[in-house]
Structures are given as C-alpha cells and as structure tokens.
C-alpha cells in the first residue's frame, strides 16, 4: 500500500515578509452550489482563519486581507449585514484567542460608517493585541485605495505640511509604519486590483487564480509562493 505524505510547506520568510489577499469569489462559489451568497461569505470567513495560520507557518510576518471595500455598501442590505456579522464574530474569536495566536490585529479603513458595537470591538482588539510584534493581520474594512490616499493627504494638510514627499504620504496612510506588500494574491478569476493598496503595491508582485476564495487552500498557496520566490524583483531597474 502506497502512502501519500503531505508535502512540506514553502517557507519563504526570507524573501517575503508581507502578503496581501483580495478574497474574491465567495458569492460565485455559493451560487455555483445553489446556496445564497451569504453562505459563500461564511465559507470564506472560515477559510480566512486557515490561510492566515498557513501564512504564519510559512514565516510570513504580515498578512493583509481585503474584507470590505468602500464600494461594497452598494450590495443588498442582507448581504452587507451578513458580512458585518461575520466580521464581528471574527473579531470576537480573535479577542478570545489572542494569547494563543500572539498576532497583532489592525483594521485599515474609514470606521465612521460602521456600527458603534463593531467599532468598539475593533478598538478593543487593536489595543489588546498591540504588544504582539512577530505577526500582524491587517483587515481592510470599508477600505478604498483612493480614499486612503486622499485621507492621508488631508491629514498632512491639517498638520500644516505645505510640500509633500512620498515618505510623508506613506507615513500618513492607514498602513503607516508597516512594510509594503511583497505579493498580492487575487482569487476568484478576476484580474484587476479593485482599488486595493494602490500606493503600497506600486512594486508588489501579483498572482491571480481562478480558484474562489472559499476553495483556496495550502497547496495552491504553496504553488504561488514557490513561483514568487523564483521571480526577480527589479523595482523599476534593469
């Protein structure tokens, strides 16, 4: 009887410190199975937990995920409410397991339109995990790249800055003080950036897969990481 062994994960902490995911395809995953779109978001939330753990196991120190864009408010109210409920559950779980996970959690975006209860959960979790410095999870929530850059510039204007440098803008972004993403992965078959980390990903590598987010697993993650580690990043040079 032939035994099959799970392949060793691709450990890439030396060449990749920050990976970002556009978690696309939840709704289509559900519809293909005759399920409501909300079921796809629920499956996607479960997979998020697995992929974040998988990235940490592979030595990736920072993970950023696109959870809800500034444009997603245009979706049906039932779907939006379902996403917000899943986010609240995720925040509760992260708070409960913070001492086990030892991962800093930060939420990137404009929090003002969110419910007061969700804002409190975010603030409490960010404060409770601020001391964990080895690994960071950034959740982009009510986030848009153009909105983020506009917000950063307005922050600088309010401080009296009259001549802006790229370094000034980088520091004023929601991600100020964090490394830029090395790799951005989009699942679900679309090949666009959808207003995600526009400034930060100027020199990032991209990977696109047709696999919807709920079905995206460690084997495909490893294939993408292996491909990434074989690339030569030139940052605009030769």
Options 14, 26, 72, 195, the catalytic residue: 72
Report how far residue 184's alpha carbon sits from residue 167's, in angstroms, rounded to the nearest whole number: 22
CB 24 within 8 A of CB 215: no
Options 24, 180, 182, 222, the catalytic residue: 24
Question: Is residue 81 annotated as a catalytic residue, yes or no?
Answer: no
Beta pairing partners, 185? 21, 207
Beta pairing partners, 112? none
Question: Is residue 24 annotated as a catalytic residue, yes or no?
Answer: yes
Catalytic positions: 24, 72
């Amino acid at each position: 009887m032939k035994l099959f062994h799970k392949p060793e994960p691709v450990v890439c902490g030396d060449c990749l410190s920050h990976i970002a995911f556009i978690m696309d395809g939840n709704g289509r995953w559900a519809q293909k199975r005759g399920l409501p779109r909300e079921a796809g978001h629920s499956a996607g939330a479960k997979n998020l937990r697995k992929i974040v753990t998988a990235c940490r196991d592979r030595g990736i120190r920072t993970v950023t995920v696109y959870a809800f864009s500034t444009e997603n408010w245009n979706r049906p109210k039932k779907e939006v409410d379902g996403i917000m409920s899943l986010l609240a559950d995720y925040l509760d779980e992260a708070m409960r397991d913070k001492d086990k996970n030892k991962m800093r959690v930060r939420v990137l975006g404009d929090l003002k339109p969110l419910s007061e209860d969700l804002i409190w959960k975010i603030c409490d979790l960010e404060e409770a995990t601020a001391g964990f410095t080895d690994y960071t999870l950034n959740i982009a929530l009510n986030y848009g790249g153009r909105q983020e850059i506009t917000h950063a510039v307005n922050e600088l204007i309010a401080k009296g800055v009259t001549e802006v440098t790229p370094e000034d803008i980088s520091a004023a972004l929601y991600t100020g003080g964090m490394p830029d993403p090395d790799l951005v992965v989009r699942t679900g078959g679309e090949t666009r950036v959808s207003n995600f980390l526009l400034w930060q990903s100027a020199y990032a590598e991209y990977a696109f897969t047709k696999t919807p987010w709920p079905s995206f697993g460690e084997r495909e993650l490893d294939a993408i990481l292996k491909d990434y580690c074989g690339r030569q990043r030139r940052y605009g040079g030769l």
